Amino acid sequence: MTPEDESDTLSLGRGFFARSVHEVAPDLIGVTLLFDGVGGPIVEVEAYDHEDPAAHGYGGRTERNASMFGPPAHAYVYRSYGVHWCLNFVCEEAGVASAVLVRALEPRHGVDAMRARRRVDDLRLLCAGPGRLCQALGITRDHDGLPLDRPPVELLAREDDVEVVSGPRVGITRAAERPWRYGVAGSRFLSRPFARRRA
DNA sequence: CAGTGGATGCTCT
DNA sequence: GAGCATCCACTGT
């Protein structure tokens, strides 16, 4: 209903990430992530701040987590359980190790490429989980430290309002009670559902 | 469905 | 050597 006085696909600037992870994480829900044109709207993320015992940067800078200590608006990619890659967006400022883990998105662009990489047909399982998402988008260690405001990465501001819910993070043992997992309520493309409120 | 356990590579209380 | 910000296959109801 609005005139076309603004771009439909405003790209997020670096300033978007120069904020607290606790602001950035919910704001990322509904943002379209494309890697070489392949991706879709983000439906699930988790926040890890610099004082968080569950965060990789908590114990100080190491070779693996160096990107987390770098400037914001860059990728931090690490290997999980020796098998999978996981993608984070670095936030705040250089020297402060905080990041948002991208856990799931709705496959919408380049679905054929995703299916070929994953060797899975079910749309729901293509990007439902951090390891699956990276496999579908072709993200590996090679992309650790990559800037997020330039190709091959595209981040497009969300066009529609979404209902963002939060809950405990997945797969961690330390500080597991902190409700820093955010997602689209009721999305079919989550790695796992959010606990429903009591009826 | 739920629960369990293996694969696999890297980091470091 | 332990411990992972995971995924999948397999078991048993």
Question: Smallest CA–C1' separation from A64: which nucleotide?
Answer: B11
Beta bridge partners of A33: A40, A155
CA A119 / C1′ C10 distance in Å: 20
**Over the stretch A87-141, which tens digit does the pLDDT of each residue have?**
999 999 999 999 999 999 999 999 999 999 999 999 999 999 999 999 999 999 9
Residue A114 sits at φ, ψ, to 5 deg, of: -65, -45
Ranking A7-11, A27-31, A71-75, A166-170 by mean pLDDT, the lowest is A7-11
> What percent of chain A has a predicted confidence (pLDDT) above 70?
93
Most distant pair of Cα atoms in chain A: their distance: 51
Checking if the pLDDT of A167 tops 90, the result is yes
Give the pLDDT of residue A160.
85
Give the pLDDT of residue A197.
56
CA A125 / C1′ C4 distance in Å: 23
Question: Smallest CA–C1' separation from A132: which nucleotide?
Answer: C7
CA A44 / C1′ B8 distance in Å: 26
Closest protein residue to B9 (Cα–C1')? A82
Verify if strand C has an atom below 7 Å from the CB of A133: yes
**Rounded Cα gap, residues A29 and A161, in angstroms:** 10
- Span A150-172, mean pLDDT? 93
Verify if strand C has an atom below 7 Å from the CB of A120: yes
Checking if the pLDDT of A4 tops 80, the result is no
* Rounded alpha-carbon distances, angstroms, from residue A64 to A56, A89, A92, A190: 9, 15, 19, 27
For all residues of chain A together, what is the average pLDDT? Answer: 91
Checking if the pLDDT of A5 tops 90, the result is no
Verify if strand C has an atom below 7 Å from the CB of A131: yes
pTM beyond 0.85, yes or no? yes
Checking if the pLDDT of A199 tops 60, the result is no
Question: Smallest CA–C1' separation from A83: which nucleotide?
Answer: B8
Give the Cβ contact number of residue A37 at 10 Å. 11
Verify if strand C has an atom below 7 Å from the CB of A2: no
